[in-house]
Structure 1
């Protein structure tokens, strides 16, 4: 019998349930195989890096794991200590500029910096109360930092001083002058 004479036998009938089960098993094996290939490729990348660095693959893998832990810890530290870092990023340049302004003979920079320090102190004093109200706003400290940077870098304090602080100051001073009796022009003489 030659190959031409042999008749192909038809495939046996298979139920759909069995066919679905077999296909599911094939997909699972395929997924496992692809995962093994990916794992092998990652190990090959680590080996390639290790070969370039002339180090053992285990050493390189430990270095990568150490870097991941370091970045994780730094992320936590920065998220927890973000407020302090932002405060320092604003405070240190302002102090340095203030010292230069004290030593300079010009008066314009003094007025600008005094206005900034008034706004900065106002925010510092009001911060606990504002935090209680806006605790639900994500990155509120970052918004506060951006606003204070605007005040410091772009002379925003002059705008704040002219539109908010001076009118409030004038109203409070007028109320205080109205409430307090006028002081005598001269101190009375001591009676003997």
Structure 2
């Protein structure tokens, strides 16, 4: 059975049982999720924040693997590079960041900005922050190619 059909059936049952619009359950669920992230009981804020940054892009990535177009692949690969860079920076600055009030709530909104196609935030962050740092090493420039050639020569 299709996941979207199951969702529609659950929301229809909610409407019939409580005599409320289905948007209430969606908004209520999102509000409860963000409240849990904000309160961060037992460190659950970090888990829920990372889940927000992983679930939807992961789903889109699985769908993109089934298509022949490379446009969605490039957009998603850009997201995963930015997501990984953010996690590395977060790991090394953990002692400072966790003192910021509502850090995981801010991080959750930032991850949504990065992942949602209507904002295309990952592309913006990649172009403005990561590309200037990495282009001289990865963009087919001489240092990267020379290093790769030297490694290949040593292994042969």
Q: Say whether the fold is shared (TM-score over 0.5).
A: yes
Q: 1:166 aligns with which of 109, 126, 131?
A: 131
For 1:122-137, what aligned pairs fall within 5 Å after superposition?
122-137=85-100
The gaps in structure 2 that reach 5 residues or longer are 1-35
SS class of match (1:127): helix
Higher relative contact order (CA 8 A, sep 6+): 2
Q: Which has the higher helix share?
A: 2
Q: 1:97 aligns with which of 44, 53, 60?
A: 60
Match of 1:9 in 2: none
Match of 1:177 in 2: 143
Distance 1:145 1:182, change over 3 A: closer
Output the aligned Cα RMSD.
Answer: 3.2
Shift of 1:182: 9.1
In the alignment, is the contact (CA less than 8 A) between 2:52 and 2:112 conserved in 1?
no
Q: Deviations over 1:48-97 (max 9, x none)?
A: xxxxxxxxxxxxxxxxxxxxxxxxxxx7x852212112211331111111
Shift of 1:133: 2.1
Match of 1:117 in 2: 80
Residues in 1 aligned to 2:69 and 2:108: alpha-carbon distance in whole angstroms:
28
The gaps in structure 1 that reach 5 residues or longer are 1-74
Q: 1:108 aligns with which of 71, 82, 85?
A: 71
Match of 1:49 in 2: none
The alignment covers a number of residue pairs equal to: 112
Residues in 2 aligned to 1:96 and 1:148: alpha-carbon distance in whole angstroms:
15
Q: Deviations over 1:86-117 (max 9, x none)?
A: 21133111111100011012211111100000
